[in-house]
Structure 1
């Protein structure tokens, strides 16, 4: 109850009346007048009645205290046994809290984001988000139902900012065991063909003793070896990266009897393969306008080591210059074309003709180089149709076409053939899809016949202009015009000469993204993107093998000329295999080496330190949660509750309403006034 005043007259008037009454009472007392005390009481009652005192009675309701229950729903909790134990513990706890009207249970489901870069169990982050609207004075405490593997535990209670008990209910048996393989150190990038070291370790959590175990290593899905290592000790694996781009190295171990999960019995590491500087041999004939276009393109790429062999003056031109002065340096032709020809990634013949500068045997070495896996590009001009043509040398079997002797000098737009619209080298050349193409004209085409391989561009009169072919293990490209430099000079708007030349070179050097028949699989979070490149108009469905071993068949939809694509959302992280006929692709869905699967054995060690510091306790609960600790309501957040869960009850309440009672209102006030005045009159009458 509280006392207030609601005066009938303005306060200054009441104060003036009180002052007059006080003076009259004082004068009466000074004169020793009879009944002065009764008059003073009557005047005081009159002033008090004018001030109208009011008694206020508040109607309050106690405020419940919030108990935050954080439920771990991370992937390590998804086994049937742990899910059942978690649900049983949650049900038992909420039923027990319902017996206490002072407590309000707030359940916070902590779900791990499967699309996260590194999925982990973040219960404290979920707790902070779930009680953001709860004043600290109303927070009774927090209870976490988990396997104990939490990855965002703060370093101290002050960092947590929780002024209430924190309790941990651990689901899972104390004697659990689990085998896992972890990558300790692995390079993120590596040079193709050079040795790389990966350090890994096999751990057996909860197992009685360590021992030997077999580890199988796969590189890009291909089984490489199986080696025996000792659990708990680091082991090194050495490999040479087989290709540029992403390489997937997988380590797997067998199942341990009775282990919690087999999800972490394998792990992968990704190494981006980087090619060391590409070595290119450019062999030029007589100087011409297009020679500089090739040289500038190759020199502009910092990853290319260029060796340029060019004939500045043909041997038939005799002017008396001594032989020793015919070259700027003594060019090591035998070293380049015989001894070290296999060290080049690409050889380019740019308008070269056989003038006797190179011995005939050297062409045979180059043909063998291509057959054994090398790359050859022939940029031909009119010389290819003459008697000194490369087609008249031992290099001829490697060439995809033979000259007819005809050379067409007429303006034309280089156009993509039907195969060219599907081939990844030419498919998306800027300006090539319109008619006429949005690029400048060329004015020469060298006639050829007996073509093999894919004609992807055509010149004047629909003659072959660009031919791509495989020879043995290697590849050959033939560009049947020497006017590509017109695009480089911007003639009639120019054209995509840089894109075309680079794609040809990269296809020759077996760049995976430019394969005509290819199957690619990439992962973006949980979404698997499957892409099929083909020279055909249609493609068959592809088979997808999930990490669990389940196989699904999906149909690909057209995504462009020669390109088919489909997406599949997966809920299983791990290595996915995609096959289509003889083609095979791998992708890893989800995070690599995610914290969520590094350790899955239930433990009290992670949460116990901060729980103890907060005045809480950490206990294991059995399958039916029958051993759930009793609840002890307290008024303090730092009380030793022993084996019980202490929860702080709030002292706060909510004002529901106020009831006001005037003390001098109604019959009571009237009776007091009559009594005071009547007493005065009665005293005066005696």
Structure 2
């Protein structure tokens, strides 16, 4: 019970003042002049004032509130090292058992570090979880917090309020050793085929020094082994092999007794950028579709185009004086001998052999293809004639030889079964209908014994578009010169831009257009696998997680030639994906996250924050095994920790349940006292 006195005046304060002050002055004057009965009059005045002020005795029934204790449990990935998870579970169970003995504590257990988003798992943010646990609790009711962690916390505030003690129980051992590697400087972009400078550092705790071997891999292929001085920043030069995403990986061997090898690898994600592709376009005599290839290639910002049209072959004699001709001589030797290897693609657009190129130069072009070059033949009627380039030494590089037939009839270009799966023609707009939703063509060249892949066909299933690999290079053959009808919008036109661009980029070995390709990427904590293939069923993808666990991811067909799969992951780091003879790498979460930069358990990070609140930091595991401190409820702001105990503050806050009122001058009792006081005054005056 809580007794108190409250006043509930019967009149307003101004009116009380107006009544009582004059009467009090008269009573005091009587006392001053020692008049008879002045003490009784003063007593009567006091009784009257007490009655008007109406004092009331209050009896409050209150229920004490509990102090809130936050137990923050670190469930980050570094807690999976060694026996830390088991130590954490045992410590949590022991704390809950000891705190349950004290009815004045409200215990809130918060597990941090198990967020579903990858970005939220890259750091151990225990103080953010602590703030969330106390968000609805007034400061006066906060008893304190206990953190169960390995000490690697990344959101420790610069200043900590002393309102409640913070205690940290550290998992792991004091003598842990670890060696790790990290990139110090890694650009995000680089030119394909050009060396790029990077730096890295190998770090070891416990005073280890000396040299260590560092394995350098690019996109899963080891390219070198470097020697690095532990603790020093070391230079590294890497050549980016392909356009798009490239993964550079550094790896070092673990040492005996090392707590984890998860940070013995470091990666950098580099976007490879191609220098402008150089294309040589050689057109025969002018024709209706001559500018189609030119306009397309000129509109591509990544292409440097060199275009020549043979307007005046050597045998043409019309009597025009040479000094009056303004034509540019075709620099055959410069293009096809001296600088042929500078070109990524050579296109012959309705070109025929008319002694413009010496016969030997066709051998150079065939050799260029064998050594990795790209050649495209956009054939017209000339390819079927006597001056066909198929009658030159170039024939060894061509995927098909002409029969001499020229088919001239209206037809719809159609995709073959192979073409429906091939990345060059797969999903072309309008190809899913019969007839296709694009315009007809009216001429194509007949060929025999085609090599490579026929991805488009004409009437009577004759080959229309051939794609072939020759040695290390590639050759494409378009057996019609009617593609310009699509560009001009005849009968609604067709997807000439997409088709022509894909052909050119496939010939120049664009990775995205490879028939057999395996790629993977991270989407939050989901691993997405993409498989391009010409087969009917590539089978499941095999995945190895950063910790070495093996997973099997089924792949389902999204469209012909394209299979997709995905899997929920729980680990941040580098994943290895394999399917058949192909392999790929993918990284889940931010690269080289702080969670893995240092995994040795430590007391030093949390100690300043804990000591600023009067709390403590101590290891759970000692010489005698797991040891939990005792819990001591306490009041005040003194230090809340001892050798084998931790203190938690209790609150004085309570909730009012009910109030009992007892008026002092209420009822007949109060009236009797007042009348007695007044009557005694009159009695005295009457004597």
1:381-405: CA deviations, max 9, x gaps? 1111111111111111221222222
Structure 1 partner of 2:655: 654
Q: What secondary structure sits across from 2:199 in the alignment?
A: strand
Deviation, 1:411, is 2.7
Q: Which moved more, 1:43-52 or 1:510-519?
A: 43-52
Between 196-205 and 469-478, report the one with greater CA deviation.
196-205
The match for 1:184 is 184
Specify whether residues 17 and 549 from structure 1 end up closer, same or farther in structure 2 by C-alpha distance, changes over 3 A only: closer
Q: 2:301 is matched with which residue?
A: 302
Q: 1:345 to 1:667 in 2, by over 3 A?
A: same
Alpha-carbon displacement from aligned partner over 1:534-582 (angstroms, at most 9, x marks no partner) = 2233333333333333433343212111222221222233333333332
Equivalent position of 2:282 in the other structure: 283
Q: TM-score, normalised by structure 1?
A: 0.89
Instruction: Tell me what 2:255 maps to.
Output: 256
Secondary structure of 1:547's aligned partner: coil
**1:4 aligns to 2:3 (yes or no):** no
**8 Å Cα contact 2:198-2:235 kept in structure 1:** yes
- CA distance in 2 between counterparts of 1:677 and 1:634 reads 52
1:140 deviates by 3.6
Other structure's SS at 2:118 match? coil
Counterpart CA distance in 2 for 1:238 and 1:262 is: 25
* Distance in 1, Cα, partners of 2:246 & 2:683: 115
Measured at CA, do residues 51 and 134 of structure 1 come closer, stay the same or move farther in structure 2, by a change above 3 Å?
Answer: closer
d(CA) in 1 for partners of 2:265, 2:102: 48
RMSD: 3.3
Q: C-alpha distance in 1, partners of 2:463/2:570?
A: 50
* CA pair 522-626 structure 1, distance change in 2 beyond 3 A: closer
* Deviation by residue 1:156-202 (Cα, 9 ceiling, x = unmatched): 21xx5664443433322222110111122222111111112232222
Equivalent of 1:115 in 111, 117, 139: 117
Return the alpha-carbon distance in structure 2 between the equivalents of residues 244 and 88 of structure 1.
Answer: 51
Structure 1 counterpart of 2:61, from 54, 59, 62: 59
Question: How many residues are aligned here?
Answer: 680
Are 2:556 and 1:557 equivalent residues in the alignment? yes
Alignment of 1:482-631 (within 5 A): 482-622=481-621, 624-626=625-627, 628=629, 631=632
Q: How does 1:128-167 map to 2 (within 5 A)?
A: 128-154=131-157, 156-157=158-159, 163-167=163-167
Q: Map 1:366-381 onto structure 2 (within 5 A).
A: 366-381=365-380
What is the rounded CA distance, in whole Å, between the counterparts of 2:224 and 2:564 in structure 1?
34
Distance in 2 separating the partners of 1:212 and 1:57: 80
Q: Does the 8 Å contact 1:89/1:628 carry over to 2?
A: no
Q: TM-score, normalised by structure 2?
A: 0.89
Distance 1:33 1:620, change over 3 A: closer
Deviates more, 1:487-496 or 1:29-38: 29-38
State the shift of 1:351 in Å: 0.8
Matches within 5 A, 1:646-685: 647-666=648-667, 668-673=669-674, 675-676=676-677, 679=680
Give secondary structure in 2 for the equivalent of 1:395.
Answer: helix
CA contact (8 A) 1:477 1:504 kept: yes
Partner of 1:197: 197
- On the 8 A contact 2:574/2:586 being kept in 1, the answer is yes
- In structure 2, the partner of 1:73 is 75
Asked if structure 1 preserves the Cα contact closer than 8 Å seen for 2:267 and 2:591, the reply is yes
Secondary structure of 2:132's partner? helix
Unaligned runs of 5+ in 2: none
Which segment is superposed worse, 422-431 or 21-30?
21-30
Where 1:612 maps in the other structure, the secondary structure is: helix
CA distance in 1, matches of 2:554, 2:227: 41
Residue aligned with 1:259, SS:
coil
- 1 CA distance for matches of 2:186 and 2:431? 44
Check 1:175–1:12 CA distance in 2 against 1; reply closer, same or farther (3 A cut): closer
Give the whole-Å Cα distance in 2 for the aligned partners of 1:551 and 1:48. 87
Change in CA separation of 1:280 and 1:660 when aligned onto 2, cut-off 3 Å: same
Which aligned runs of 4 or more in structure 1 are off by greater than 6 angstroms? 9-37
Change (3 A) 1:254 1:31: closer
My pick for the range that moved more, 124-133 or 51-60, is: 51-60
Distance 1:51 1:603, change over 3 A: closer
Contact 1:112 1:122 in 2 (8 A): no
**Structure 1 residues without counterparts, runs of 5 or longer:** none
Comparing 473-482 with 236-245, greater Cα deviation is found at 236-245
After TM superposition, give the deviation of residue 429 of structure 1 in Å.
Answer: 1.1
Cα distance in 1, alignment partners of residues 377 and 161 from structure 2: 72
Question: Which residue number corresponds to residue 318 of structure 1?
Answer: 317
Q: Is contact 2:170-2:603 (8 Å) kept? A: yes
Residue equivalent to 1:346: 345
In 2, the alpha carbon distance for the partners of 1:648 and 1:628 equals 16
Shift of 1:428: 1.3
Structure-1 separation of matches of 2:628 and 2:547? 36
